[in-house]
Chain A
Amino acid sequence: RKEVEQDPGPFNVPEGATVAFNCTYSNSASQSFFWYRQDCRKEPKLLMSVYSSGNEDGRFTAQLNRASQYISLLIRDSKLSDSATYLCVASNTGNQFYFGTGTSLTVIP
């Protein structure tokens, strides 16, 4: 059973569109959650942490539903520079980060 599952996509959206990614995690003991983005052959870069109350950073909004073990990321007004793979991450009570396989996004002019 995968610790973190994501729809791999690809998502191809026009500039200015709103796009949402979903992620589920299997370990109910998971404590912290993050979204990272990864450009082709580059390192994962932190996009945002995900809090129970939901949080927003500019065009990006993250939500956590602990009861459903579900995390989401909403991107509004998509830009060409948003094209990347978005990685959902859950961490347990130890120090392991569990990565999803990532969701590929391409923003089209």
Chain B
Amino acid sequence: EPEVTQTPSHQVTQMGQEVILRCVPISNHLYFYWYRQILGQKVEFLVSFYNNEISEKSEIFDDQFSVERPDGSNFTLKIRSTKLEDSAMYFCASSTVNSNQPQHFGDGTRLSIL
């Protein structure tokens, strides 16, 4: 069964540094998403991406964050000048069409900011 893959599985970064989280969505999917889950809290939407542009973003997704699809397969989340509170699990997801269809999640990147 095709799956969403994310790298790295764990990223440890000093506060103030930039970090890039990588995702390879399922190949025939058209919509891509990033979510985060702070330990012990709920999964929170960050951003959705379609046709090479952001289609929706939450208030969490401020100027510190950016997304990119640099080639035909990768989908990246960049966090500039990381803060302690950015420590969380970051999940990438993809779906065939839009939010009427289930989203398939990668196994996440655990980001630890020191």
Show the binding face of A for B, using Cβ within 8 Å. Answer: 31-32, 34, 38, 41-46, 49, 87, 91-102
* Interface residue ranges, B against A (CB under 8 Å): 31, 33, 35, 41-45, 48, 50, 55-56, 58, 89, 91, 93, 98-108
Known A44-B43, A44-B91, A87-B43; contact A97-B103, beta-carbon cutoff 8 A = yes
CB atoms of B100 and A96 under 8 A apart = no
| Cα–Cα distance between A101 and B50 once the two chains are bound (Å) | 27
**Which of B35, B42, B99, B103 is within 8 Å of A101, CB to CB?**
B42
Which residue from chain A places its CB closest to the CB of B57 in the assembled complex? Answer: A96
> With the chains together, A12 CA to B91 CA distance in Å?
28
* A43 touching B91, Cβ below 8 Å: yes
Question: A interface, by DSSP: helix, strand, loop or mixed?
Answer: loop
**Residues in A whose Cβ lies below 8 Å from that of B48:** 94-96
CB-based nearest A residue for B58: A96
CB of B78, distance to nearest CB on chain A (Å): 20
With A44-B105, A100-B42 already in contact, the answer to whether A94 and B91 are too (CB < 8 A) is no
